[in-house]
Structure formats: structure tokens, C-alpha cells
Amino acid sequence: MADPPGCCHPCATCLLCLYSCQWITAKKEKRKGLRTTKCDCSWFLFLFCVFLFTLVWLYFAIIILNDFHNFNEFIFKQQKLWLDWSLVLLIATAVLITYSAVLLVLAVCLQLCGQPLKLHWLHKTLLIITALVVAAAFTGLGIKWAEEWRSARISLQATGPFLHIGIVGGMTLLAWPLASVIYRTRSTGLKVLLLLVYGAVMIALYLAPLVITSPCIMEENQLPPKPALVGHRGAPMLAPENTLMSLRKAVDCDVQVFETDVMVSADGVPFLMHDEKLTRTTNVQTVFPERAAMNSTAFNWTDLQQLNAGSWFLERRPFPTVQSLSHGDRVQVTRQRIPSLEQALEAAKESNISIMFDLRPENHSDYQSFVNATLEVILNSGIPLQQVLWLPDGFREQVKQKAPGVQQIYGRKRLQDEREPLLRVNLPYQDMSSEEIRQYRQDNVSVNLYVVNKPWLFSVLWCSGVSSVTTNACQVLKEMKHPIWLLPSSTYLMIWIVVDCVSFLMILWAFLLLKKCSQRRQPAESETDVLLTKINSLMQD
């Protein structure tokens, strides 16, 4: 098989060596008569599928970074080991995608150079392992973290228009090796099949914008107001969660609500704590090693005050932002203690922000006494009751009677036969579609979604019209003055038409150019065949 013009023998030799793991020169390959077999084509197709499979996993890996802190907390509760597993995920994914991408590029270059695709058994084994690892990752995601599939659906509203452009571009570039294969093969059936499949895929891609929807495809004057920020346990990227320092940092980020979790000590003092055990966010294993495995509610307030609630933040570094803390902030972190609800209410009153909390654990046998103790602290604190957002469902009617001024916020959607209208809902961001958010907004129902950390997600919810979002990254979202992107429908239509036209012209150019090159090679190959036949006849004589 002759080399196409511009493909030098040293380059072809290097490509063969990397792909086949054997030092076979292009000339030697030609003398041996090596050709790409059907089996080799099957392995190339498998390589292409593995690359796409890994590429899809990379997309998912980037999307789930918004919620990865929850995964880190889950692993800590199970293994008592703290590590930012997002780094492990990204590094492993980058290795897999790089490996499959390099092999794919080598295969395409070999095809363009007219060389055989003899994939080495080591590469075949590694590709199978790559496919199994990615399949295992998807399976684990579906079993243990199924809500992330809904996150992916939401992400398509943010990335759909740009993914469409990228996929059209990739499939357009694929026209070059595809045209090379079509002009080299002698099987008419294979040519027709490849053209039909490729043509069907491209037509589907050209028409894909008809089904692509995004709330950010709108006119500038239709953009809803920016959602208010709710500090998830304060500002946990800047200070230890559920501490007074975290509350103050949240106030500096212009949050309107401090979201926290309340538990009640053994002697009836409500305090701020998320986990049922104290091991993750305090030094209980050092101060009370024999009681470290006990629930938070088993400690009295005097014991809780002996614990440090900030040093873990510097030791484990739950977020990368910990490294950028100033010396003064680091000193302040080491002095943090577990705050009581009374202290948190006082700080919220001074800062003129609202406070929203859940009362844990809901299945405790003394839960009603927890509700009574919490209500008593709220009523005695002097904070305006409209600044308190009550989230627990247990004994809600009792709370309404004793403190009618407290704002009720519900962790569920509206029901068909709702006895009294819901004014506020607090839900995971995966649980509400853009259409539902718009409908709630029209009905004057305040919608708060959690936990929203990434700008792309905040932008989609902003365009949808959500009232507020609970976030770990208040310092990031505070700086956003506009969604990441906003396209008028007319502009998107223009981009769609231009991309499709440019793609079609480039595909047409690729096929015409390679056809011309193929026609030039055919006479030279014919003359070479005649010359080789004559030489062979002379040698036989």
C-alpha cells in the first residue's frame, strides 16, 4: 500500500512502533505485506467506543464535583479517613481519557498514512481494563449516588448548546479518516454502510438544536433577579462549619440566611452540629477517647464546651480554600468552640440575617422535648421571629401555635389537596425542573434549592428563576453579576445555522480532496504493480 503524499517513512515508522509496540519500519511492513484485517478494524471500533465511553465519564466526573464534598463526608463516616477524593477521581479519569485519546490519534494518523492498524495485545488488554473500570464507575454511581443522574440532566441545560457544537466539530474532523477508509476499501457494501451511518449521524446532529432546551436561552430583559444566597452551615470553605466564625464569614459574603443543624445536649441545651457523632468536626477523640463513638446528644453542655471545633479544619483541609487562609484567620480557627443555638441567634440578630435549621436526630425518642427546648431558646432570644425559618416537620403544628411568627419552610413539593398554601420550600436542586421553578415563582412560592456550589449550576437556576440557593461557595457566587452565558434565541439560531453550514462544507472538502489524492495514487500504484510483475517474471526465467 503506497503512502499518501506528505507521510514520510520515519513518521510512519514511529506511529507503527507506538501503536503496535514493535519496531517495524514502513518499508519492512510493505515487504511483509501487512494489511489491516477485519479483526484489526474491530479493535479500532472498540478503541473508538472506549474513548467515547471514557469521555462521557469525564463529563460526569466534572458534573458531580458540585456534590463531591458529600462523598468525602460519607467515606469519612465509613472509614474514618479524610481525603479529597475528587483529586483521585480527576487524576484517574485524566489518565484513562489521555491513554485512549492518544491511541485513537495514533490509529487515525496510521490510517491517513496508509499503514496497517496492528494493535498490540498489551494495548488491547489495557483498553479492556479501561472499559471495565469506567463501567464499574458508572455502576457504582447508579447504585450509591443515583441522584447524580438527575444532576447530569440539569447540566445538559447549561452545556447542551456547546456540547452540540463540540460534537459536530468532532464528527466533522472524523470525515478525513472516514473518507480515507472509503477510498481505500474495495468493498462496495462497506462503503455504502459507512456513508449511510455517518450521514445519518450528521443529519441527527444538524437537527439536534430542535430538541435542545436551556433556561438561559432568553432575552436579557427576561432574566430574573439574582437568587439570594443561603450559607450552608455558614461559609464552610472559609471557616469551620457550624461555628460563629463561619456565620460571620457568611455575613461577609452577603448571605441572607444562615443554614445550620441543631441538636440538643443531654442536659437540654440546643447547639449547632450536623453529624450524629462528634469525630469529624471536633477533637473528641483526644479529649474524651472512651466516649468518642457516642452520639452528640449523649454529651452535656459542659463537656461539649471543652471540645475544639476548629483545629480539624486546618488538619484535614476539607476544601482547597483552606490553604489561602490568612495567619489571623488560622489563629481564629483554632479558637472555635461548638456554639449554642442561643449564641447563633444572637449573632444572626446582630448581623440582621435570617437563620434556617433542621433539628436532629428526627428519630430520637425525646424529639418532642428537643422541639420544646429549641422553641424556648428562640422565644427567649429576642430575635424577630420572621428571621427564623423552621424546617423540621416533626410537631410543626405545635410550633405554629406556640410561635406563630416563625416562618415555616417545607422540605417537600406542594400537594394537590394542600390545606393551606405553602409559601416556602427547601429542596435538593435535582428535585425541581425549570418548569416547576417558573410555576412556583408565578404562584409567589419562595423556592430554595441546595447545595449549589458551581457557577454553571447557579447560572442555570438563576435563569430558571429560583428564589435562593444554599451553597458552600458563597464567596464565589457572591462575585457573579451575571449568568455564565445568556443567549437570545435569535443569536442561538444564527450560531446553529453557521456551525451546520461550516461543518457540511468541511466534510465535502475532505471527501473531494481525498478523492483527488486517491485518483493520483492509482496510476502510480498500477505502474508499480506492472514493474514488480516484470521483475518477478525475469527472476523466474
- The one-letter amino acid code at 272 reads L
As a whole number of angstroms, the distance between CA 94 and CA 47 comes to 17
State the DSSP string of 265-281: -TTS-EEE-SSSBSTTT
Q: What is the pLDDT of residue 503?
A: 97
pTM of the model: 0.88
- Paired strand residues for 469: 229, 449
Residue 157 · residue 459 · CB < 8 Å = no
Radius of gyration of the chain (CA): 31
Burial of residue 355, with CB atoms counted within 10 A of its CB: 0-12 exposed, 13-18 middle, 19 or more buried? buried
Joined grid coordinates for residue 86: 475528587
Picking from 399, 392, 342, the residue whose alpha carbon sits closest to that of residue 372 is 399
Residues 6+ apart with CB under 8 A from 463: 214, 215, 216, 218, 223, 224, 434, 483, 486
- Paired strand residues for 217: 487
State the DSSP string of 246-265: HHHHHHHTT-SEEEEEEEE-
Picking from 108, 92, 101, the residue whose alpha carbon sits closest to that of residue 179 is 108
* pLDDT averages per 10-residue partition of the chain, 541 residues: 51 75 56 68 91 95 93 87 90 96 89 80 95 95 88 94 95 90 83 93 95 94 97 98 98 97 97 96 96 95 97 95 96 98 97 96 93 97 97 94 95 86 94 95 96 97 98 97 95 95 96 81 52 56 56
Picking from 497, 514, 506, the residue whose alpha carbon sits closest to that of residue 172 is 506
What's the DSSP call for residue 482?
A: S
Q: What is the pLDDT of residue 5?
A: 45
Neighbours of 428 (CB within 10 A): 16
* 219 alpha-carbon distance from chain centroid: 27
As a whole number of angstroms, the distance between CA 308 and CA 304 comes to 9
Residue with cell 444572637: 346
As a whole number of angstroms, the distance between CA 153 and CA 133 comes to 23
Whole-angstrom CA distances from 357 to 14, 271, 392 are 63, 11, 8
Q: What is the pLDDT of residue 74?
A: 87
Looking at the chain, how many residues does it have?
541
